[in-house]
Structure 1
Amino acid sequence: MKHLIQKRIALCTVVLICFSCKEQTGENGVQQQKGPLPQKEYLSYVDTRVGTAPSIADVTVTETEEPLGYVSPILGYPSALTHWTPQTAKWTNRVITVPVPYWYDQEKIQGFRGTRYPNGAVVGDWGPMSLMPMTGKIKIDADVRASKFSHDSEVAKPHYYSVKLDDYDIKAEFTAAAKTGFFQFTYPESKSSSVVFDGVYVPGYYKVIPEKNEIEGYMVIAGHFRSHFVAKFNKGFDSYNLDMLPNVVDNGLVPKGFNATYYNNDKLEGEPAAEEHYSKLNYEWLKAPVKGIKDDFFSARYTGILVGRHTGEHTFTLTTDDGTRMYVNDQLVIDQWKYRAAGTESYTMGLTKGEAYKIRIEYYDGSGATSMQFRCSEPVKVDPKLGPEMALKGTDAKAVYVTFATQDQEKVRMKVGTSLISIDQARANMEGEFPDFDFDKAVAKSAGVWEKELNMIQVEGAEDDKAIFYTALTKCFVNPRNLNEDGKYFSPFDFQVHEGQMYTDLSIWDTFRSLHPLWVLVKPQESTDIINGMLNAYKEGGWLPKWPNPWYRSIMMGTHADAVIADAYVKGIRGFDTDVAFKAMLKNANVKGDRGFSGRVGIEYFNEIGYVPADVYGFYGEPVARTLEFSYDDYCIAQMAKALGKEGYYDDFMLRSKRYINVLDTETGLVRGKKLNGEWLPPYDKSISVWAQGTAHDTEVYYKNHTLLVPHDIPGLADFMGGEEKLVSYLDGFFEKDMYYVGDEFSMHAPYMYNSLGQPWKTQKVVRDMLAKYFFNDVGGLPGNDDCGQVSSWYVFGAMGFYPALPGDPIYQLCSPVFNKVQMNVGNGKVFTIIANNNSKENAYIQSATLNGKPYNLGYISHDAIIAGSELIFEMGPEPNTTWGISK
């Protein structure tokens, strides 16, 4: 498997290169790229399967995690409303259970998913749908209908995917735009060819319109809004049908209804905080289900007596978000007690008419909305005409399917438009993006979009390095997700349609570090749009987003929208209301979260005593990380205040930014949890992080990484250590003992700290070694979950030769570039160029440099110099030059 991706797809890419050639020559109505860099072809280097298998590197990782990319071969324009990807699984069976659609090591494809799973993250897929072409008998269940396939038949690009479904002898191809997927299925001769649609985890509403060759419908997202779609075929239907839903269990089966007890914890512990009675379980709650219960992290137990109305086989289905268990007569029959997105589980058993059965359903909510639907399919014969009749009228169902006869090698084409606003808008999106059924033209159009994206940065170097680079760069532009539809968006924060900008699936805790800074350089207008989207979220929901997916999610620490906004502003990004932005940042810094948004958990303690107390927030409350991150966020607010001329706020927040020192312990020389009364927790207490629960070494790794989370005050951290040489020694041991956790974000800036400590040659060596050790042109080529492009952007910057080690400060630390030449289109007709003369794997050290022809002896470069279109030339060599780059 190792390093074979390019060879496997070489023949397939010939066709795709032709598509991109059309794009450059302006065929099919697509214009050539305008700008200072002549467009080149880079799509042939990209394989979107990189990261879909466990890392092949020797990665430092704890027992509670795995070095997995959590990415899928995503298709769609950059920041698409809906991406499309092959689906090999609805859920994973990994250490962390998440709804990642595709895993390289799985042998069957269940369908093709219209997904909003944030690529590379560990959260939920909201409002997905899937479709599957097949021949023969209709199979609805994803596992049953799944077809074997070979990776040798796959082509996986950001604009085109193709695979052979071996069990059905169907070649499946598709491309995608921002809101529409375009499929081409090449069928064998068959009288029973078909396509099945379902909602992946939840039922949907479906309506067939045979006179238009269309299917329309929607999936309900946590009961509060809908993901609409319209599918249009270039071929008529011979027949159509629905897979009908079981009835909701109500007083007919449970005569006395359900008693509910609610707990203000996620473990059903202690005395109930509230009680309620329901005639049926068919509810969606955005916040608390009853008065007196927390919006998030509560649990519930529902009990009732079911009396059989028929003798025979009954199938129970239970749709919930997050953890759920079901018992019949105290026997556990459904066990999904884990954090997850919405899902449906089923259990089949024989019942006797008139006999009573105890039903108990248990549930816990993590964060976000709550679903609870309990249904039962009774042994009653259904009229076979009902499904087609209801398909014409439109109704809720588990799935819908259409059938038609095909000749051998007949190509059936289908477009699927999506929208969060309405079915009509989904149809308009589809017709606007792909107005006809010319599949080749659609592929060429998508190829042109992606070639333009990749051409923003042009590199020269080894072919394998270019493949790693452009695949990583592709992943940098998948998320965040743009919800704009013809100038409007459906807000997941107030559930209304507005004009303007809205983005979601912002993994801000990760991406503020280098993904957003990359966008500031190459996508300044989109950076403005993202910030305006954040401000709209603040206006509609009360807070800047923290990790929206698609609404507020109370996960991760800090409020790093502060960092994203401040970094953009100090680097010249404009076009947003700075008064509103600063007001929102101050709210983050001073007000406890509400309305289901956690904000800075523990901010009241941080502002009163200078840290987040470990005993107040309990085991795994991560108070140390919160203290460190609140301090950094306050530094960013200070920089924003300074840029806005608010000197009083600047002074105040610079003082606040020093509070990290309150969780640095002189006894251990590391961070350490501190109680409200000032007492320290035991050294290496495992409550440092939920991920540090493995070996003693695992825990030490987390302490070592966390201690470096002071990017805004390296001199202060050095003083704590006992001077710069002590901090250098700490870093030396940190890297030599392989304690750097490249797949996590706490210390991503750590290799660049040597620059600030007067030893830049060590940054050059460490970064070059890490890029070579951890990143490969292979399906196992990512060293950890990509977190919406953060890990990939870390690679992209390092490979180019500079890195934004301190977002909020308009400078970049220099390192040893992988490439001989880098050209970045920074807008306004300007190109920033880095040239590395005599560059090689052996010549990893910078000997000297010039900037615009003049000697340059700084280990960093300013943002202004980059966007001015400067030329930075390095002379490289095999030994460190300990006199270069040390000037202050």
Structure 2
Amino acid sequence: MQCIRDFSFVRGLRGRVCLSVRTPVKWRAAAGAALAASLMFSPLIANAQSASGPVAEVNPMIGTGTGPGDSENLFPGPSMPFGMVQLSPDTESSGFGYHYYQHKILGFSMTHMSGVGCSNEGEVFFTPTTGPVDLEGDASNYSHQQESASPGYYQVQLLRWGIEAALTATDRTGEVKLTFPAGKQANLLIPISHTLNNAIGAQIKIAGNNRVEGYVTNETFCGSNRPYKVYFVMEFSHPFAKYGTWSGYRDGAPAALTAGSREATQPGNDKQVGAYVSWPQSSDAQTVTAKIGISYVDLKGAEGNLKAEAAGKSFAQIRQEETAAWNRALGVIDVTGGTAKQRTVFYTALYHSLLIPSIFNDADGRYLGFDGQIHHVASGHNIYDNYSGWDIYRSEMPLVALIEPKRMEDIAQSVVLMYQQGGWIGRWPQINQYTNIMAGSPLTVVLATAWLDGLHGFDMKAGWEGMYKDAMQAPPPGSSYQGEVGMKWINTLHYVPNDKVGYGSVSQLQEDAIAWASLYDLAKDLGKQDAAHTLYERALYYRNAFDPQDKMFHPRNADGQWIKNFDPKKSDGFIEGSGWHYQWFAPADLAWVVQAMGRDTFNQRLTQFFDYKKPGWYPQYYNPYNETDLEAPFEFNFSGEPWMTQKVVRRVLNENYPDTPDGVPGNDDAGEMSSWAVMSMMGFYSVDPASRAYELVSPVFQKTVIHLHAPYKGKEFTIEAGPEPESNAYIQSVKVDGKAHAKNWIDFGDISRGGTMQFTLGSSPNQQWGAAAGDAPPSLSEQQQ
């Protein structure tokens, strides 16, 4: 999912609130000279603190954006792997939080969603100042030369105030260490009504001489506008001497500051409230730390999280524990060789792949369910929320299933509980609420992939019920969940008519089809033969949008007629893309698409699709900035030209994943774009994850070791690529466990059982390896019914 601001071929696009896109490359060329000095950065500057292990390879500044209009929007602040708290500086008052090119820090907030395409979260915002308390113009300039970031740590000098701010975090808490200059009153302003989206209520209370508490009510993103509360407790290392609150209107009228006031409440979305605390000036620099716990349940939960995770611990201890946690998480994959840049790109991409979904339950196990009630998760487990479903089913969730299998089982169980509490499995749920963003049933693919990978530590009986219901029925009128769009027409016409469903009729059907195909694979595994037959037929409905005349996917109307004057460069019938982007989207049945289009035509068109001079958002070429066609580079493996997959994947990695602030193409979308790079750099990717088939490409490292964990039987899966793989893009031959491997794909079981895969690479293509008809990955239409 991307944020579209400059996308000429989306005329007529309807029904989406978040329409965003990366500004064209030509803008960057024009503005690049003016911004060059401020945008240059060194990984050693960005990660200035000494570190060891894979944490030392990570640069959180990658993907934080290069200029106005760009859609890179990652945050550099600390978060534990999949942590509830994602604490980071904010350089804008609404939007995504931090952008590298912006030169002022407004403050810091406790929550962010990594790289998603609409303004979101940013709750529990605070900003330090010095001198008299002033609510006007509290932002501070800063320099990237006086800023550092690494997994678990962020530090910056606020130059206007002479304050050094350092941040670290646990799963559910953040700690801020503020060093104030000598001779100045030290202040912390907490404008609790400030969020990155739209706060519609808030309350703040001075609760003692070293504690502030309260809540803010924000709304879910992308115009879904469902309210949720974030509670917080903030405790200080030193008692403050002064305090007060304020209240003001959003129309620009000045806020009324009341010294000595202990409480302020925002009754609606027209007012903003906040509080401040101050410490007297000192003859020496003074350091104040603030520990902040949050909860989506209540104040008791925020306080409990603070006591469970941060009580009695110093800033240095929390930072050390978080760094160790990241070294464990990143150390599941060891890479050897490649360039320093490639190692930084790889481990930073892996880091970004492990940020969300987010832990949602408090330390005591309580969490807010999809029914609005408080539930308890079993001891030793966590509930996860914030599923960028349309994005992450493609590679981020398969990657998590591979390297974090126990966590993946908890994620899967969280999706099952979504169904049990709310009645449906959502496609982009946020803060345990349905947002109805994007299309299809992507979490069906996620659950099916997890189960078929061998992860059975969740309630598949209930999960199957929810997935099958979503595949066959429309929610009743008034339901908070939209369901698969056009279900009435799907069940009667077997496609989504463009004149009845105004937004993305073809894409809706294609996205549904991958979910039905995944559910078909699952039904077979579960022995549900009747359901498998039904789902197989349903998974082939995508063909009803394929026009045999020009051999492309087309919108058609309810009367069966194709829309007139179809232009594949336009977006009519497609979601965040064009007919060119979506002509490749039949992940479960590419053998049929190759046959229907004709192998020569397929290869000719796919080659043309990658015939752009430089990356950009083109309607007729591959779009590396969005999920619409992420699978396209790997489709030559299905059409007898796997060497072309090897060529174009290397090109995308080299051009679109630099170690710079624009080092993630477009929105990272909760780790999807990053996980694409992680998989591709290791040498495999799955076009259809539930099929268990992983297409092979050339690795960029001499050696990659994936350390496997239960319930997988293997201990390690090792990938070897020989000397100088970074300059040898083409596979000459492959061996799996010492035996020649002619197929251009491997089964997931080949990985999870452990073993070795050896690549022999070269500088020119071997057009015979993996090119025979029997070497291609499996497809739905090849299976017997």
Deviation at 1:774, TM superposition (A): 0.8
SS in 2 for 1:718: helix
- Greater C-alpha radius of gyration: 1
Label 1:88 to 1:690 Cα distance change in 2 as closer, same or farther (>3 A): farther
Q: Which runs of 4+ in 1 moved over 6 A?
A: 1-7, 393-397
Label 1:4 to 1:455 Cα distance change in 2 as closer, same or farther (>3 A): farther
CA distance in 1, matches of 2:708, 2:646: 24
Counterpart position of 1:440: 316
- The structure carrying a bigger strand percent of its residues is 1
Q: Is the 2:113–2:121 Cα contact (8 Å) retained in structure 1?
A: no
Within the alignment, does 1:152 sit opposite 2:145 as a pair?
Answer: yes
CA distance in 1, matches of 2:707, 2:363: 28
SS in 1 for 2:734: strand
Counterpart position of 2:374: 497
Label 1:797 to 1:2 Cα distance change in 2 as closer, same or farther (>3 A): farther
Deviation at 1:494, TM superposition (A): 1.6
**Which deviations, in whole Å up to 9, do the C-alpha atoms of 1:53-99 show, x marking residues without a partner?**
149xxxxxxxxx965222111321111112101010022xxxxxxx2
CA distance in 2, matches of 1:843, 1:428: 54
CA distance in 2, matches of 1:849, 1:497: 53
The Cα RMSD (Å) is 2.3
Q: Where does 1:432-831 land on structure 2 (aligned, <5 Å)?
A: 432-436=308-312, 438-460=314-336, 461-486=338-363, 488-500=365-377, 501-550=382-431, 551-594=433-476, 595-618=479-502, 621-682=503-564, 683-684=566-567, 686-688=570-572, 702-721=578-597, 723-737=598-612, 739-828=621-710, 830-831=715-716
Letter in 2 for 1:119: S
Letter in 1 for 2:211: E
SS in 1 for 2:610: helix
Counterpart position of 1:404: 279
Letter in 2 for 1:846: I
Letter in 2 for 1:439: F
Counterpart position of 2:213: 216
SS in 1 for 2:728: coil
Higher relative contact order at CA 8 Å, sep ≥6: structure 1 or structure 2? 1
Within the alignment, does 1:388 sit opposite 2:422 as a pair?
Answer: no
Q: Is the 1:68–1:782 Cα contact (8 Å) retained in structure 2?
A: no
**The 10-residue stretch of structure 1 (438-447 or 190-199) with the greater mean CA deviation from structure 2:** 190-199
CA distance in 2, matches of 1:773, 1:513: 21
Deviation at 1:389, TM superposition (A): 3.8
TM-score by length of 2: 0.86
CA distance in 2, matches of 1:598, 1:866: 37
Label 1:485 to 1:832 Cα distance change in 2 as closer, same or farther (>3 A): same
Label 1:669 to 1:773 Cα distance change in 2 as closer, same or farther (>3 A): same
Gaps of 5+ in 1: 21-40, 56-64, 92-98, 246-316, 318-344, 349-375, 693-700
Match of 1:429 among 284, 305, 308: 305
Deviation at 1:488, TM superposition (A): 2.3
Q: Is the 2:70–2:666 Cα contact (8 Å) retained in structure 1?
A: yes
CA distance in 1, matches of 2:506, 2:265: 53
Label 1:406 to 1:436 Cα distance change in 2 as closer, same or farther (>3 A): farther
**Which deviations, in whole Å up to 9, do the C-alpha atoms of 1:108-148 show, x marking residues without a partner?**
00001111x3211123424712111110122335xx10000
**Which deviations, in whole Å up to 9, do the C-alpha atoms of 1:310-364 show, x marking residues without a partner?**
xxxxxxx4xxxxxxxxxxxxxxxxxxxxxxxxxxx4144xxxxxxxxxxxxxxxx
Within the alignment, does 1:183 sit opposite 2:176 as a pair?
Answer: yes
CA distance in 1, matches of 2:97, 2:400: 27
Letter in 2 for 1:585: M
**Which deviations, in whole Å up to 9, do the C-alpha atoms of 1:11-54 show, x marking residues without a partner?**
6746441xx5xxxxxxxxxxxxxxxxxxxx12222121211114
Counterpart position of 1:166: 159
Q: Percent identity?
A: 29
Deviation at 1:865, TM superposition (A): 1.2
Deviation at 1:7, TM superposition (A): 6.6
Alignment coverage as a number of residue pairs: 703
Letter in 2 for 1:732: T
Q: Where does 1:24-63 land on structure 2 (aligned, <5 Å)?
A: 41-54=53-66
Label 1:597 to 1:413 Cα distance change in 2 as closer, same or farther (>3 A): same
Counterpart position of 2:752: 867
Within the alignment, does 1:70 sit opposite 2:73 as a pair?
Answer: yes
Label 1:855 to 1:413 Cα distance change in 2 as closer, same or farther (>3 A): same
Counterpart position of 2:294: 418
Letter in 1 for 2:480: G
Q: Is the 2:207–2:262 Cα contact (8 Å) retained in structure 1?
A: no
Letter in 2 for 1:77: M
CA distance in 2, matches of 1:674, 1:7: 50
Q: Is the 1:234–1:437 Cα contact (8 Å) retained in structure 2?
A: no
CA distance in 1, matches of 2:763, 2:45: 38
Label 1:614 to 1:12 Cα distance change in 2 as closer, same or farther (>3 A): closer
Q: Is the 1:198–1:204 Cα contact (8 Å) retained in structure 2?
A: no
CA distance in 1, matches of 2:439, 2:45: 46
Letter in 2 for 1:84: L
Letter in 1 for 2:181: P
Gaps of 5+ in 2: 1-34, 220-225, 614-620, 776-785
Letter in 1 for 2:437: I
CA distance in 1, matches of 2:579, 2:574: 12
Deviation at 1:491, TM superposition (A): 2.3
CA distance in 1, matches of 2:369, 2:36: 42
Counterpart position of 1:135: 130
CA distance in 2, matches of 1:387, 1:549: 37
Counterpart position of 1:114: 110
Match of 1:837 among 701, 722, 737: 722
TM-score by length of 1: 0.76
CA distance in 2, matches of 1:184, 1:448: 20
Match of 2:238 among 228, 235, 240: 235
Q: Is the 1:839–1:877 Cα contact (8 Å) retained in structure 2?
A: no
Deviation at 1:224, TM superposition (A): 5.5
